[in-house]
Structure 1
Amino acid sequence: MVSTGGPGGPLRLVCFELRAQELALPIADVRETLPVPPITRVFLTPPCLAGVFSLRGDIVPVIDLGVLLGLPATAIGDDSKIVVVDHAAGVAGIVVDRLRDLRTIEPPLEPPPANLPAQVAGLLLGVAATPTGSVRVLDARAVLTVEPLRQLARSDAESRVS
């Protein structure tokens, strides 16, 4: 089992839907949620980077979580939202199909299912059991530091030095 949150305390989650899957992030890692703003695609970036948008003057990268989870690119619909993740590893927006609710669960989380691909399981803190089913709880640090984005950051840093 995976322990999260404070010592013995409940874990508050922001729940959302992506491709008919219910996912969540710890509320401590979510700065805000907002309607999908105009997203500018950046050429020569990995497919998991949907583009960037301006949030009160700051340029925020937008991660396509569907691509990271091995799914087709996420289509923006009427109910789509951006979940702005703010973690020590950085700030980014994640495109989701729709927001669900806030939930409070008691830890510990169950580990990710053994049948998940390693790259998907590595993005999860674990799985929370709820009265309506299970919710996969994402690890904000893992999502923000996934290998394609780290490579992009290294390339950007190298081009600034040159």
Structure 2
Amino acid sequence: MSENTGVSEERQLVVFDLNEEAYGVDISAVREIIRMQEITRVPRAPEFIEGVINLRGKVIPVVDLRSRFSMPGTERTDEHRIVVVDVGGQDIGMVVDAVTEVSRIPSSSIEPPSTVITTNDSEYLTGIVKSEEKLIILLDIAKVISDSEQVQLSEVQQLPDSAAA
């Protein structure tokens, strides 16, 4: 196998805004992007879960990424979206301020996150994309939700209908 084929590798990203910053996730983890809809609160759900939505008959837990990243809350607008992602074989909705683009990024434009900004809390950062217009913070969507939190999310999905009403 040749390590260098002479072709620049690219990554395709879904880019979204969160607290006036651009974030990107690999498109392969994104199932779909939907408009905001009513989110049903679930009693005694873990703090990081905003609630659940019914997406074509399937109950999907929803996480607000602003609160997940300890950012101030904001009034929901028509621009807000729920990005449904696959985390460990489980669909999870993530509320973002706006989805701005689907973009092809040359791998050469991705830098690892600086050791100055990386802590145990930021292990979900995989890099920073330098584009001409802006910097895009790359997220490893599988690490935004820990393994133990994934278990909690699956428990929320399996609540009886009366608990989610």
1:28-47 equivalences under 5 Å are 28-47=28-47
1:116-155 equivalences under 5 Å are 116=117, 118-143=119-144, 145-146=145-146, 149-150=149-150, 152=152
Structure 1 residue aligned with 2:65: 65
Letter in 2 for 1:105: I
Cα distance, 1:34 vs structure 2: 0.7
Where does structure 1 lack aligned partners over 5 or more consecutive residues?
Answer: 1-6, 157-162
Structure 2 residue aligned with 1:159: none
Aligned length: 150
Residue 68 of structure 1 contacts residue 120 of structure 1 at CA under 8 Å; is this kept in 2? no
Give the TM-score normalised by the residue count of structure 1: 0.80
Q: Bigger radius of gyration, 1 or 2?
A: 2
Residue 69 of structure 1 contacts residue 120 of structure 1 at CA under 8 Å; is this kept in 2? no
Measured at CA, do residues 110 and 8 of structure 1 come closer, stay the same or move farther in structure 2, by a change above 3 Å? same
Measured at CA, do residues 117 and 148 of structure 1 come closer, stay the same or move farther in structure 2, by a change above 3 Å? farther
Letter in 1 for 2:94: I
Measured at CA, do residues 9 and 94 of structure 1 come closer, stay the same or move farther in structure 2, by a change above 3 Å? same
Give the TM-score normalised by the residue count of structure 2: 0.79
In 2: Cα distance, 1:137 partner to 1:11 partner: 11
Measured at CA, do residues 87 and 148 of structure 1 come closer, stay the same or move farther in structure 2, by a change above 3 Å? closer
Matched residue SS, 2:126: strand
Structure 2 residue aligned with 1:90: 90
Q: Percent same amino acid at aligned positions?
A: 29
Deviates more, 1:70-79 or 1:50-59: 70-79
Measured at CA, do residues 79 and 154 of structure 1 come closer, stay the same or move farther in structure 2, by a change above 3 Å? closer
Where does structure 2 lack aligned partners over 5 or more consecutive residues?
Answer: 1-6, 157-165
Letter in 2 for 1:65: L
Alignment partner of 1:10 is 2:19: no
Letter in 2 for 1:34: I
Structure 2 residue aligned with 1:115: 116
Measured at CA, do residues 63 and 127 of structure 1 come closer, stay the same or move farther in structure 2, by a change above 3 Å? same
In 2: Cα distance, 1:78 partner to 1:119 partner: 34
Deviates more, 1:131-140 or 1:111-120: 111-120
